[in-house]
């Protein structure tokens, strides 16, 4: 059954109630579309300040005058007292308070994952003046405002009286990453974006959460039975952007055995989107993800394994990388941090940049300081360039780090992340400089060489409320290797409580290669381990893979033969 997506005015309680019933999604969408089409022959929507929504989200209709007698007038500014877009969180008398509406200088967004029963409301200031927020009865309120990771989140308290109360929150920028050409992206978002007239709201939320880029990925099954996170177009027709924020449509293609992959910058959807029984219409482990990657590349898109190569019975992330069809490796989501498969590939000489994204609307739990979009994100150094093509080129160059809070700086011999340091035969010393910084507590900063921590102690310091761990270390290198830095911060409380897991803030740089006598990076032991895993996976698909025909099975098995031969040679 084709899943119809409804855009609706969230101010209608009747429509909201109907939408919550999965049995009427299709009929409600058809009836509503027909009713709207009677106006001048086409669907009519108001501007982006009006309510709208779909299966995965709801933007509430803004509060209008006359306002409730008791309300807050919230102004959020930067250090120069200029209004700034930001996420804000409220409490009243020590208890969390989520308003049902906010004024039209704000935005109330509800993230919805029907399958997991997860709903999270984020409220935003648009950055164009005070936001009116109705208040409940109480004595005292507190508001916390945040603007991504490069500003210090700030809280202010206010007394609740019998009328309007003003509150001004100032945010201080502590990081100069933007001045150095770094731009942040959430490369893994699943929200329905079915009408370009509402792109202004998506772009505003990205701005408020300190992001420059977001990739909205269509997928099938898991949340609702068929396609969800629908996009109104792909390629340039599906792009949204302004001077600072950009959105691009993509796809998460999934197979129950092979795993999940993210395809960024597609010009059209690659069918069938889900295989291996994730949806009833396709139970076979075919086509191989190798073919899907190749089809994406033919469109000028890029792709890589999602979720650290997890969520699969026998992930083909190793196979697809050895065969040369992988452009990046996702190592973190809001609920996950997994580097072992990526490290193995790096140790065998397969150089891939790391990426990270939230996987929203999955796991929408946030502390007040955290952004909703880009709670874990990918920073790419683009200089003065902008747009998807420039982002793609910078990512491929390896000028990248991922983080869920702390910010990283890393050089070897004054060369930045993504570089290649060349040493003569016999090797020699290298000088490593690294910093991990955050307005919050930091727990560790490690130098990593070929996946193993180097025994060196980070030096702590604090300046103007910013905590820093730093490394300044000379290391002797005798054979070709890769190095990176990784760090951890404090616990992500809301996510830990919501999912009952241990999840701390993390940061991980891309790598710097150190080549001795121009010899490639290649660990003999890890290459043997990789070969063993490929053989084991080949046997899995020979014995347990589900294929429609013997020819499909034979071709799949032959891909492993090709990869094993390539690895041996």
Is residue 62 assigned to a domain?
Answer: no
pLDDT of residue 83: 98
Identify whether residues 518 and 530 lie together within a single domain: no
Identify whether residues 409 and 399 lie together within a single domain: no
Is residue 51 assigned to a domain?
Answer: no
pLDDT of residue 69: 83
| The last residue of a domain, from among 145, 175, 205 | 175
Band (49; pLDDT cuts 50, 70, 90): low
* Domain span at 548: 525-568
8 A C-beta contact, residue 256 and residue 312: yes
Is residue 61 assigned to a domain?
Answer: no
Is residue 529 assigned to a domain?
Answer: yes
293 three-state secondary structure: helix
| The last residue of a domain, from among 383, 403, 423 | 403
Is residue 518 assigned to a domain?
Answer: yes
Identify whether residues 200 and 348 lie together within a single domain: yes
Retrieve residue 150's tokens: 């490069």
Identify whether residues 246 and 394 lie together within a single domain: yes
Identify whether residues 76 and 32 lie together within a single domain: no
474 has pLDDT over 50: yes
- How many domains are there within the chain? 5
pLDDT of residue 21: 36
Give the CATH number of the domain where residue 349 resides. 3.20.20.140
Is residue 65 assigned to a domain?
Answer: no
Whole-number percent of the chain with pLDDT over 90: 87
451 has pLDDT over 50: yes
| The last residue of a domain, from among 365, 385, 403 | 403
Average pLDDT over residues 452-477: 98
Identify whether residues 259 and 355 lie together within a single domain: yes
Identify whether residues 288 and 356 lie together within a single domain: yes
Q: Tens digits of per-residue pLDDT, 195-239?
A: 999 999 999 999 999 999 999 999 999 898 899 999 999 999 999
In 424-521, the DSSP E strands lie at: 428-438, 442-449, 452-453, 459-463, 466-477, 481-491, 504-509, 512-516
The vertex-9 CA angle with 7 and 11, nearest 5°, equals 150
Identify whether residues 146 and 183 lie together within a single domain: no
Is residue 1 assigned to a domain?
Answer: no
Residue position matching structure tokens 């310091």: 461
Range name among 49-58, 225-234, 264-273, 554-563 with the lowest pLDDT average: 49-58
Q: Tens digits of per-residue pLDDT, 262-306?
A: 999 999 999 999 999 998 888 999 999 999 999 999 999 999 999
Average pLDDT over residues 11-21: 35
Identify whether residues 336 and 292 lie together within a single domain: yes
Identify whether residues 289 and 299 lie together within a single domain: yes
Which whole-number Å values give the CA distances from 411 to 167, 449, 488, in the listed order? Answer: 43, 14, 19
For residues 346 and 351, give the distance between their C-alpha atoms in angstroms, rounded to a whole number. 5
pTM exceeding 0.85: yes
Residue position matching structure tokens 């939408």: 19
Average pLDDT over residues 29-58: 51
pLDDT of residue 209: 99
Give the CATH number of the domain where residue 505 resides. 2.60.40.10
Is residue 516 assigned to a domain?
Answer: yes
* Alpha-carbon dihedral sign for residues 234, 236, 240, 244: positive
pLDDT of residue 25: 30
Identify whether residues 129 and 194 lie together within a single domain: no
Average pLDDT over residues 55-66: 93
Give the CATH number of the domain where residue 88 resides. 2.60.40.1120
Identify whether residues 207 and 337 lie together within a single domain: yes
């Amino acid at each position: 059954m084709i899943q119809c997506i409804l855009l609706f005015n969230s101010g209608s309680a009747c429509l909201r109630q109907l939408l919550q019933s999965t049995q009427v999604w299709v009929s409600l969408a058809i009836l509503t579309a027909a009713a709207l089409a009677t106006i001048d022959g086409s669907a009519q929507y108001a501007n982006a300040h009006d309510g709208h929504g779909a299966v995965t989200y709801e933007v509430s209709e803004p509060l209008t005058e006359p306002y409730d007698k008791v309300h807050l007038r919230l102004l959020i500014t930067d250090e120069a007292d200029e209004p700034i877009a930001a996420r804000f969180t409220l409490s009243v008398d020590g208890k969390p308070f989520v308003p049902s509406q906010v004024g039209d200088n704000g935005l109330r967004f509800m993230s919805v994952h029907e399958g997991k029963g997860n709903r999270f409301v984020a409220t935003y200031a648009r950055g164009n003046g005070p936001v009116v927020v109705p208040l409940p009865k109480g004595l005292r309120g507190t508001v916390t405002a945040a603007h991504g990771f490069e500003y210090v989140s700030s809280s202010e308290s206010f007394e609740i009286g019998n009328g309007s109360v003003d509150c001004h929150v100032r945010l201080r920028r502590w990081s100069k990453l933007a001045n150095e050409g770094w731009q942040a992206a959430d490369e893994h978002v699943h929200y329905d974006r079915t009408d370009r007239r509402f792109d202004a709201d998506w772009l505003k939320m990205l701005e408020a959460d300190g992001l420059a880029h977001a990739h909205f990925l269509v997928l099938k099954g898991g949340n609702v039975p068929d396609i969800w996170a629908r996009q109104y177009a792909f390629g340039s027709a599906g792009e949204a952007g302004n001077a600072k924020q950009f959105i691009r449509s993509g796809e998460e293609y999934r197979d129950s055995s092979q795993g999940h992959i993210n395809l960024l910058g597609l010009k059209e959807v690659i069918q069938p989107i889900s295989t291996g029984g994730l949806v009833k219409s396709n139970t076979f482990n075919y086509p191989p993800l190798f073919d899907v990657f190749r089809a994406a590349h033919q469109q000028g898109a890029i792709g890589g394994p999602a979720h650290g190569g997890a969520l699969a019975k026998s992930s083909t992330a190793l196979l697809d990388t050895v065969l040369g069809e992988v452009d990046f490796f996702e190592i973190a989501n809001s609920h996950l941090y997994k580097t072992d498969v990526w490290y193995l590939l790096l140790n065998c000489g397969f150089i891939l940049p790391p990426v990270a994204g939230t996987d929203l609307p999955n796991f929408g739990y946030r502390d007040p300081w955290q952004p909703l979009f880009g709670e874990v994100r990918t920073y790419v150094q683009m200089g003065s360039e902008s747009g998807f093509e420039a982002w793609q080129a910078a990512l491929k160059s390896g000028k990248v780090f991922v983080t869920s809070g702390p910010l990283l700086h890393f050089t070897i011999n004054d060369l930045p992340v993504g570089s290649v340091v060349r040493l003569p035969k016999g090797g020699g010393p290298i000088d490593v400089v690294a910093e991990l910084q955050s307005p919050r507590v930091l727990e560790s900063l490690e130098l990593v060489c070929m996946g193993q921590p180097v025994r060196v102690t980070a030096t702590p310091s604090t300046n103007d409320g910013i905590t820093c761990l730093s490394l300044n270390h000379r290391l002797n290198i005798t054979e070709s290797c890769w190095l990176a830095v990784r760090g951890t911060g404090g616990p992500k409380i809301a996510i830990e409580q919501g999912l009952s897991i241990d999840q701390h803030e993390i940061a991980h740089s891309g790598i710097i290669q150190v080549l001795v006598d121009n010899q490639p990076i290649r660990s003999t032991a890890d290459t043997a381990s990789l070969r063993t895993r490929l053989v084991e996976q080949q046997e899995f698909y020979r014995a347990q893979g589900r294929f429609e025909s013997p020819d499909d099975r034979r071709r799949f098995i032959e891909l492993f033969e090709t990869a094993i031969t390539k690895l041996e040679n």
